[in-house]
Amino acid sequence: MPFANVAELRAKLDAFARARLTPADFDPILDLDAELDLAEVTPDLFQALQLLEPYGMGNPKPIFAARAVQLSAPPRI
């Protein structure tokens, strides 16, 4: 595309987005495989997850969440 057309493309893409997108489209989505209670996180679960390896494009790592959890110490970075 010639550089001279970039401004027009930008304007049209902006108009397209403004006409179709809502504020809800910008809300983050947390895509989880399961919600677990921390009591369910056991060595047996770890071993079962290892059977699903190797992870990659066609087999992503599972993502879990736990509610009402508090850190016992600040995270290490």
Task: For residue range 5-20, list pLDDT tens digits in order.
Answer: 999 999 999 999 999 9
One-letter identity of residue 15: A
Distance CA 37, CA 65 (A): 8
Residues 6+ apart with CB under 8 A from 30: 65
Backbone phi, then psi, for 25, in 5-degree steps?
-65, -15
Q: Which residue is associated with the tokens 């990659």?
A: 56
Distance CA 55, CA 62 (A): 9
DSSP E strands, 1-77: 34-35, 64-65
pTM above 0.75, yes or no: no
The ranges of the chain with pLDDT < 50 are none
